Amino acid sequence: MAKQFKELEDFLGTHFIYTYDNGWKYEWYAKNDHTVDYRIHGGMVAGRWVRDQEANIVKLTDGVFKITWTEPTGTDVALDFVPNENKLHGMIFFPKWVEEHPEITVTYQNDHIALMEESREKYETYPKMLVPEFATITYMGDAGQNNEDVISEAPYDGMIEDIQAGRYYDADYRKIKK
């Protein structure tokens, strides 16, 4: 039987892959009670990946978790996970500049924080581009908290398939070296 989520402790340390109804594909990891990592495989900013993003993470009710954060780009995100039903709702609030220059954000953001902060001042913020979408969770992995191997390299074509087929992490959820 699939894992049942109830408390925040059940949720923290979980690694998810999901597809939004608009086709955008994301990979996201609840690293600990105030930190998230993610990788974007499809959509407007496919190729972007981020580690150690500070976030607010709460349990709303049994098995329902809300995560919110604001990024160095000025993008705000609110995710509501219902993992027992393999679904979530995401709301992304992109500043106008990310919609106009997505390529600036398609990188390993941690190495380019100053560029993100400069860009959010240099370009327009408004009107924001709002993306409210449900998503279907296609993969859940019990990675444990603070596992630096979960999101540790750029997304590549076939990565989702490697993860889902069990070719990417070993039994201890460490990345299998290629």
Ligand X SMILES: C=Cc1ccc(O)cc1
Residues that bind ligand X (CB under 6 A): 26, 28, 38, 75, 77, 79, 90, 92
| CA-wise closest residue to 31 among 39, 19, 43, 22 | 39
Q: What residues act catalytically?
A: 26, 71
Tell me whether residue 12 or residue 77 sits nearer to ligand X (CB atom).
77
| Nearest residue (CB) to ligand X, 42 versus 174 | 42
Minimum distance, C-beta of residue 146 to ligand X, in the bound complex (Å): 19
**In terms of CB distance, is 79 or 160 closer to ligand X?**
79
Cβ distance 160 to 27 under 8 Å? Answer: yes
The CB-of-47 to ligand X minimum distance in angstroms stands at 13
Q: State the minimum distance, in angstroms, from the CB of residue 94 to ligand X.
A: 8
> Cβ closer to ligand X: 81 or 169?
81
- Sheet with 129-142, side-by-side order of all strands: 49-54, 35-42, 25-32, 14-20, 129-142, 87-94, 76-82, 64-70, 56-61
Please give the Cα distance from 108 to 106 (Å, whole number): 7
In the bound complex, what is the minimum distance in angstroms from residue 109's beta carbon to ligand X? Answer: 10
Distances (CA, A) of 88 to 23, 53, 57, 160: 14, 19, 14, 18
Q: Which stretches within 12-151 are classed as H helix? A: 96-100, 102-105, 113-122
109: left (phi over 0), alpha (psi -120 to 50) or beta: alpha
